[in-house]
Amino acid sequence: MSRYVVEKTIGRGGMATVELARDTELDRLVAVKRLFASLVGDEIFRERFLREARMAAALSHPNLVAVFDVGEEDGLPYIVMEYVEGETLADLMRRSGRVDPDRAVDLLLQVCAGLEHAHAAGLVHRDIKPQNLLVRSDGVVKIADFGIARTLQATRLTQVGTVLGTAAYLAPEQAAGERVTAVADIYSLGAVGYELLSGRPPYELESLADLALERKPPPPLGGVPAELETVIVRCLSRDSADRPQSAALVARELTQASSEPPTVQMPSPARRPIHVPRRALLGLAAALGAVLIAVGLALGYSRGDGPKPSPAPAQQDVLQRGETPAESARLLAAWLRRRSG
């Protein structure tokens, strides 16, 4: 840790402190999160803390807090993160109250962009709330604290009655200890949007049991375009199947409901890259080469040269120059262009 010179403590969470420090090697300010000493002996908390570092370090997106380094000092694990100069969304709402709908849409679209990227990587945040959304001084929103995020393949709670997060923003299935997927983050996003637009959370709850048993829809939003309210209410659907099934879909609906063109680019639904085996690529290249040869012969025939049973010597020379079918096809295409020109 000698590389990082701590300047002051800037926050305390449920299991760690956050300090402002200077990276002496790169001469930049960073945020250092340290696990509480009282939790170091607890393997569950320790693993959760380190999991945050590994997961967050694998993500790179403008709307996610970047992780630069991880390590231990005197037995205390720490994470070095991007320092975000600004305030939390909770601070912003305490200071200004409810937010204008157009600005709320811009803020929510940025959260959608970060979530879409994380979900595409197979991660669910599980604790989207105003305290974990940082608003930079230039208006950029960054999602922080993936400390309780888990891979989508391991989102079933391992201990009965153990649920993490803040009740007002938890999806009902999460509060009930059921399997949690990315659409749980969509519910939390809707809860944040509701609070942005109304100045209050969708439900006033005293316990997770209250949320699990809650059946009434939240009070109507006043002074909000009906289309925008519809999007927020859909996100807050108790049945996860009734919610938009991706952050990108939420972003699209928010954009369509906005009275002004948003200043934030809407995220596109993530697509898995298509893997094409190398053998198939070579076969395709060879087929392309055969097609180009046929085209060359047809061109020769149309000029009165008549059909040729095999490539012309110059053509054959071009084909032999390519070490792979793909290279041969490329060289042949260039040769045919020159010949026909």
Active site residues: 127
Helices marked H in 68-181 = 89-96, 101-120, 172-175
**Cα distance from N-terminal residue to C-terminal residue, the chain:** 67
Gyration radius of the chain's alpha carbons = 28
Distances (CA, A) of 340 to 179, 290, 294: 64, 17, 14
Q: Which residue type, as a one-letter code, is found at position 292?
A: L
Half-sphere exposure of 63 toward its Cβ, with a 13 Å CA cutoff? 20
State how far the Cα of 271 lies from the Cα of 89, in Å rounded to an integer: 30
- The set of residues, in sequence order, having a beta carbon less than 8 Å from that of 1 and lying 6+ positions away, is 32, 71, 73, 78
Q: Which residue type, as a one-letter code, is found at position 273?
A: P
Neighbour tally for 108: CB within 10 Å:
30
Distances (CA, A) of 180 to 14, 158, 169, 240, 243: 21, 12, 14, 10, 14
